Amino acid sequence: MCLAIPARIEELNDSGNAIVNLGGVRKEISLALLDEVSVGDYVIVHVGYALQKLDEDEAKQTLAAFAEMGQLDELRAELMESGT
Amino acid sequence: MKYVDEFRDGELAKIISANIAQEATAVSGYNLMEFCGGHTHAISRYGITDLLPANVRMIHGPGCPVCVLPIGRVDQAIRLALEYSVILCTYADTLRVPASGGLSLLKAKARGADVRMVYSTQDALKVARDNPEREVVFLAIGFETTTPPTAVAIQQAAAENLNNFSILCYHVLTPAAMHAILSVEGGKTVPLNGFVGPAHVSTVIGSKPYEPFADDYNKPVVIAGFEPLDVMQAILMLIRQVNDGRAEVENEFTRAVTREGNLKAQHIVDEVFELRDSFEWRGLGSVPDSALKLRSKYFSFDAELKFNVDYVPVADNKACECGAILRGEKRPQDCRIFAIGCTPDNPVGSCMVSSEGACAAHYTYGRFRQIPIVAEALS
Ligand code: SF4
């Protein structure tokens, strides 16, 4: 039940709810726990409530960190330097 | 950016996996606990253990709300449904949790109890509005992610004078359980080098509540998202902390988790709930200050008080190892009846019910790989 998924806000309605797109399915969720949500934002939806907004810049930085080669990179650099 | 596929990329997984293989050099190994059932599920589903060197061992934690619910708590809900004829609303996961007398909420339903599955607390409120002549009880379970939605529902019910609505409040707290894991009486704790911290719980409570585990217990904590690459990167970050002799709270899930968390949700929870002195967990026993109850101004919405149904502790099935598994002492395949007498279709213990339960995750994704458990490896 904790398997909450990111969903895109498609529409805001008067009752403080939003329509989200959850993997192709449109669903009404509550925004009672989150301020300042706009159409196009991605939110984490859990048991029918938006829990938190997702930050695109942070997501990009995290993805960039995945690609860092850590010690392998250093190793390669050392090998290059030593001319092997 | 869809926030899903990007975090399941196979090429990136290879890079992280190579980094882990390079850097996991400690001979004593790395025993890392993923606290949360969501991570347990991801680890099994994506076969992450297969991408880890043999000296990196993942230990499942107690962060599966259905798994830690003791039998006596399910019994309370069943009694309300069968003896008091309430409409009992619940999340799907609790329906099949084995209770006393061979019952579960689902089997009680077959006996005529009015048990209804809801997706959200809003659905439970609707059932109460639509059935003013009936009592409607919502079985409120879960960690800090499901607590704010329950709090919102209580505030709404109070505002609407929805007097036929009440809850069985079984909301529990993540930091208290982590504390319990690290301080099991008799010092029989599992040797742990660090925690993968929960994703969604942390979106609500922030990273701050984990700081005592780094500062006081000297255990690194890395909060991770629920996608496979998130979990792998968090494992790498933990390995790096162990290698450097650091114990810090680090955040891999910065796209959704801040140090302070969701303050609005925290305020709503605080307005509605206060700490219970003590609450019994399956596997961990009674843990002080580890669960919530309604504040006195909301007592009329407390089903335990309203119907006077006391909690009666009940021992687990003798064959079931759920308790030891929830403490990280045993693995699902150490249970004698795993996959034989106990399957997701016919669960004997709670860990076989929810897809986040350690036994159900192992069963469903066929990860029966034999890894020597820590206790053996150490002796
Ligand atoms: S296999 Fe079933 S009985 Fe055994 S520990 Fe897991 S849930 Fe309990």
The DSSP-derived string for B233-275 is HHHHHHHHHHHHT---EEES-TTT--SS--HHHHHHHHHHEEE
Give one DSSP letter per residue of B317-353, joined into a string. Answer: PTT--HHHHHTTSS-GGGSTTBTTTBBTTB-SSGGGT
Mean pLDDT of B95-117: 95
> Does B328 fall in a domain?
yes
Question: In sequence order, which residues have a C-beta less than 8 Å from that of residue A18 and are 6 or more positions away?
Answer: A9, A10, A11, A12, A28, A29, A31, A37, A50
Residues from chain B that touch A46, judged by Cβ atoms under 8 A, are 145-146, 149, 200
Q: Is residue B250 part of a domain?
A: no
Give the nearest partner residue to B142 out of A1, A32, A62, using CB atoms. A1
Residue-range definition of the domain harbouring residue B372: 322-378
**How large a percentage of chain B has pLDDT more than 90?**
70
Fill in the DSSP letter of residue B368: -
Count structural domains, chain B.
1
Better-scored residue on pLDDT, B327 or B165 = B165
Cα-flanking dihedrals φ and ψ of residue B324, to 5°? -65, -35
Q: Can you tell me whether residue A26 is helix, strand or coil?
A: strand
B344 found inside a domain: yes
pLDDT in tens, B22-46: 999 998 999 999 999 889 888 888 8
Ligand 1 atom nearest B347 alpha carbon? 2
Report the alpha-carbon angle B41-B42-B46, nearest 5: 120
In a domain, B326, yes or no: yes
Q: Note the pLDDT tens digit of each residue in B255-292.
A: 999 999 999 999 999 999 999 999 999 888 899 999 99
What would the two tokens of residue A43 be?
A: 């939110």
Which token pair is B92? 């799907």
Distance B142 CA to ligand 1 centre (A): 20
CA A23 to chain centre: 14
- Backbone angles phi and psi of B169, in degrees to 5: -95, 105
Nearby residues of B138 by Cβ (< 8 Å), 6 or more positions away: B89, B90, B118, B121, B124, B150, B153, B165, B166, B167, B168
**Residue whose CB lies within 8 A of the most ligand 1 atoms, among B337, B340, B350, B353, for a mutation test:** B337
pLDDT, averaged across chain A: 83
Per-residue confidence (pLDDT) for residue B371, from 0 to 100? 43
Model pLDDT, residue A73: 62
Cβ contacts of B233 on chain A, cutoff 8 Å: 62, 65-66
Farthest-apart Cα atoms in chain B, separation: 66
Within its chain, how far is the Cα of A12 from the centroid? 20
The residues lining ligand 1, judged by C-beta closer than 6 Å to any ligand atom, are B 319-322, 325, 332, 335, 337-338, 342, 348-349, 351-352, 359
For residues B9-17, average pLDDT? 88
Ligand 1 pocket test: pick from B351, B363, B364 the residue with the most ligand atoms within 8 Å of its Cβ.
B351
State mean pLDDT over B148-161. 98
d(CA B109, CA B148): 28
Q: What's the confidence (pLDDT) of residue B24?
A: 93
Residue B9 has pLDDT above 90, yes or no: no
CA of B61 from ligand 1 middle (Å) equals 15
pLDDT band for position B49 (50/70/90)? confident
Are the C-beta atoms of residues B4 and A42 closer than 8 Å to each other?
A: no
Residue A13 contacts residue A61 (beta carbons within 8 Å): no
In a domain, residue B89? The reply is no
> Taking the CB of residue A21, how many other CB atoms lie within 10 A of it?
14
Q: In this predicted complex, what is the ipTM?
A: 0.87
B184 burial level (CB within 10 Å; 0-12, 13-18, 19+): middle
- Looking at CA atoms only, how far is residue B207 from chain A in angstroms? 14
Residue B243 lies in a domain: no
pLDDT above 90 for B316: no
* Residue of the CA atom closest to atom 7 of ligand 1: B349
Distance set, CA B147 to CA A53, B46, B200, B286, B291 (Å): 18, 29, 12, 20, 10
pLDDT over 50 (residue A36) = yes
pLDDT at residue B367 is higher than 90: no
For residue B359, is it within any domain? yes
The total of other beta-carbon atoms located within 10 Å of residue B319's CB is: 14
Looking at every residue in chain B, the average pLDDT score rounds to 91
CB–CB contact B38 A55 (8 Å):
no
pTM metric for this prediction: 0.90
Give the integer Cα–Cα distance in Å for B348 and A31: 38
State how beta strands B136-142 and A42-46 pair.
unpaired
Enumerate domains of chain A plus CATH numbers.
5-81 (2.30.30.140)
Find residue B294's DSSP bridge partners. B273
Q: Chain B contacts of A50, Cβ < 8 Å?
A: none
